[in-house]
Amino acid sequence: MATITKEAKYDCLVFDMDDTLYPLTSGLNLACRKNIQDFMLHNLHIEESQVAKMCLDLYKEYGTTMAGLKELGYGFDDDEFHAYVHGRLPYETLKPDPVLRSLLLSVPQRKIIFTNADKVHTAKVISRLGLEDCFDGVICFETLNLTPTLNFPAEKITTMTDDDLKSWTSEGRILCKPSLEAFETAIRISNIDQKRTIFFDDSPRNIAAGKAAGLHTVLVGSSVLVPGADLALESIHNIREALPEIWQDGEQFEPVLAATSAEAVVLA
Ligand SMILES: [Mg+2]
């Protein structure tokens, strides 16, 4: 008798990186915010009394403070901003995480990082955590904002220089989570089926946007559910207990004869 293969429920896991693959208590988030505020004060000459509130308001409104500053018309080089903000982070607080590494390596599905951070910061964090060989792809700031085929009219791509690319993107709007467009672009370029993909993020608004984009969603860093979250995990280390179906691939079973079939009646 032929066997029927039941498909695995999921074929891709998408992970945010900062405060999702390592805990908020590392202090990186706080240090990063301080550096952004210093950049606003010293490089953009924003009034000191306004900086903290503006930093938070823009983050809430535009997804990242950087995206908000660009939207308000502040002109600065993206790489310079990232170097200033991430260059002085206390990366030494991040330690290799062999527990997470072996969990990720045992996951049979594709694994992708989807972060608003730039590629230098992403590489440093992943290296510090010892997770370099755990992912099949990374979607970061440069992927969404410096990919000519996504942001440029097709006829211009071949004639543009690197400087053209830079000026085009630094004048344009920044694409980042939680915008639905950022999710849709990430889904398209990584060629995933959102109905068969689980998205992990520590940010409730990213979770809500991920749900709106059709993904299965898991809030990380809190056990309290938020709107749009299918599941909430205190730590990414808990995924095996919370989502055992990730490891259940393609069960095979014998088809059961329908009770109404002639054969079943005769054999009964
Ligand atoms: Mg995060």
42 CA distance to ligand 1 middle (Å): 26
How close is the Cα of 260 to the center of ligand 1, in Å? Answer: 54
> Of 40-44, 45-49, 65-69, 161-165, which range is least confident?
161-165
- C-alpha 39 – ligand 1 centre gap (Å): 21
Ligand 1 mean position, distance from CA 99 (Å): 20
Considering only residues 7 and 248, tell me which one the structure prediction assigns the higher pLDDT: 248
Round the CA-based radius of gyration of the chain to a whole number and report it: 22
CA 213 / ligand 1 centre spacing (Å):
18
pLDDT of residue 180: 96
CA distance 20 to 134: 15
pLDDT range class, residue 249, cuts 50, 70, 90? low
pLDDT grade for 3, boundaries at 50, 70 and 90:
low
Q: 199 C-alpha to center of ligand 1: Å?
A: 12
Helix 28-42 and helix 78-87, axial crossing angle in degrees, nearest 10: 130
Percent of the chain with pLDDT over 70: 81
CA of 24 to the centre of ligand 1 (A): 9
Angle at 24 between CA 18 and CA 28, to 5 degrees: 65
Domains of the chain and CATH, by start: 4-24+96-253 (3.40.50.1000), 28-89 (1.10.150.450)
Measure 157 CA to ligand 1 centroid, in angstroms. 32
CA–CA dist 266, 19 (Å, integer)? 62
Whether 228 has a pLDDT exceeding 90, the answer reads yes
Checking if the pLDDT of 127 tops 50, the result is yes
Mean pLDDT on 111-122: 95
Distance, CA 206 to ligand 1 centroid (Å)? Answer: 9
Residue 162: pLDDT above 70?
A: no
Q: Report phi then psi at 65, rounded to 5.
A: -60, -40
Residue 158: which residues within 8 A CB-CB, separation 6 or more?
none
Determine the distance separating the centroid of ligand 1 and the alpha carbon of 18, expressed in angstroms: 4
pLDDT value at position 222?
A: 95
pLDDT beyond 80 at 202? yes
Contacts with 265 (C-beta within 8 Å, 6 or more apart), sequence order: none
Rounded to an integer, what distance in angstroms lies between the CA atom of residue 42 and that of residue 230?
A: 42
pLDDT at 259 over 60: no
